[in-house]
């Protein structure tokens, strides 16, 4: 085959941050200020995020994982305590429990949404349970009202893993500020980004001081720089990251709208392809915050073959999510296949397609056409 007759393979990125001149100018301004940490931009970012999600306070950190870890400490989870959560999530949610030598108690998920099934929670509560950690998977809110009711009645903290769900709304209320605390993450593949970074929002005044101290090596606000009141961590967000965040939270509705446009384009095209199920939106979800676009393939479809075929066409795709309880670490802790059948089925069928707010209609058409050719006989 000559050079002129070779097939050109289009390259489609799996994810991409939406960064423009305003973000670049904001970071440059911080660099010129000479204040790169523990400065006013972090405080401004905290104020803006708290206001956006209707929380009383926000504490910025260097990752969503750090925020979840701090919330476990604030909730009092320690050796042998239990935290109820979901096995269908990114592994950081369950890992944050292990960091404090507590035990993640998994609850199987709703087959339609992939979120934790509230009807299964009560039966797993014991005298050692400290908290409930629901995850708003892929940007869709978990069914929070029954979870909040259980938490209140049983005296358990409710911590929302909203790392994938900035701007999502449950029955008209923004997630993150529904429970005792919520955690957002801003990795470059998220709806908005600070490069690396996260934030904890809370309605608990008694947690604010603890969270602020934990992120800053255990220091307390009125004590000296070398005085450490508790075991703390270097979980601070930099001024540079916060500068990105200030601009991005100001653009959040635009960023979410762009991603919703791409999601709608995918759903319209994929609904016509046999063997593909598009994402389900629950009635309680009054605003979806599209983090990733995850389809489900019919069990008869060879997902591995589809992934390889898409790759050959310049299209990355990933199984999303692998079940946490079947990860090697968790198998070593005693978890076995078959324990959470809904999660395991979703893990076998789910596939994340390239997704971000800058994908063009042509990109979506290309992905869908190649996927259809791989699935249809």
| DSSP-derived 3-state class of residue 64 | helix
Contact 42, 345 (CB under 8 A): no
Contact 181, 200 (CB under 8 A): yes
CA-CA distance, 210 to 220, in Å (whole number)?
8
Active site residue 6: no
CA-CA distance, 30 to 126, in Å (whole number)?
49
CA-CA distance, 205 to 247, in Å (whole number)?
27
26-53: string of b/e by CB count within 10 Å (b at 16+)? bbeebeeeeeeeebebbebbbebbbebb
List residues bridging with 259 in a β-sheet: none
CA-CA distance, 223 to 217, in Å (whole number)?
12
CA-CA distance, 188 to 182, in Å (whole number)?
20
Question: Of the listed 190, 209, 311, 373, which one is catalytic?
Answer: 190
Contact 63, 198 (CB under 8 A): yes
Residues with a known catalytic role: 190
């Amino acid at each position: 085959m000559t050079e002129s007759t070779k097939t050109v393979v289009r390259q489609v990125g799996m994810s991409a941050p939406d960064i423009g001149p305003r973000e670049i100018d904001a970071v440059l301004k911080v660099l010129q200020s000479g204040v790169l940490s523990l400065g006013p931009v972090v405080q401004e970012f905290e104020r803006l995020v708290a206001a956006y999600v209707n929380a009383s306070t926000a504490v910025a950190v260097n990752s969503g994982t750090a925020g979840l870890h701090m919330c476990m400490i604030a909730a009092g989870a320690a050796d042998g305590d239990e935290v109820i959560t979901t096995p269908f999530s990114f592994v950081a949610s369950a890992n944050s429990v292990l960091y404090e030598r507590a035990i993640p108690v998994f609850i199987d998920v709703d087959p339609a949404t992939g979120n934790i099934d509230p009807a299964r929670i009560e039966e797993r509560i014991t005298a050692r349970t400290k908290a409930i950690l629901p995850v708003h998977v892929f940007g869709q809110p978990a069914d929070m009202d029954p979870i909040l009711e259980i938490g209140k009645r049983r005296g358990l903290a409710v911590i929302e893993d909203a790392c994938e769900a900035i701007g999502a709304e449950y029955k008209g209320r923004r997630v993150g500020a529904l429970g005792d605390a919520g955690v957002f993450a801003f990795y470059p593949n998220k709806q908005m980004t600070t490069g690396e970074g996260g934030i904890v929002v809370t309605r608990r005044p008694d947690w604010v001081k603890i969270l602020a101290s934990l992120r800053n090596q255990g220091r307390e606000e009125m004590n000296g720089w070398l005085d450490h009141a508790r075991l703390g961590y270097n979980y601070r967000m930099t001024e540079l990251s916060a500068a990105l965040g200030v601009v991005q939270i100001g653009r959040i509705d635009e960023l979410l709208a762009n991603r919703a446009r791409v999601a709608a384009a995918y759903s319209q095209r994929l609904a016509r392809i046999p063997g593909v199920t598009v994402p389900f939106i629950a009635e309680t979800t009054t605003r979806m915050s599209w983090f990733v676009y995850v389809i489900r393939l019919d069990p008869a479809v060879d997902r591995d073959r589809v992934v390889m075929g898409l790759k050959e066409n310049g299209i990355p795709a990933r199984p999303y999510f692998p079940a946490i309880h079947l990860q090697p670490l968790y198998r070593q802790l005693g978890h076995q296949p078959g324990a959470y059948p809904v999660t395991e089925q979703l893990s076998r069928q789910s596939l994340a397609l390239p997704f971000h707010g800058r994908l063009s209609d042509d990109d979506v058409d290309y992905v869908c056409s190649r996927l259809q050719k791989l699935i249809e006989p």
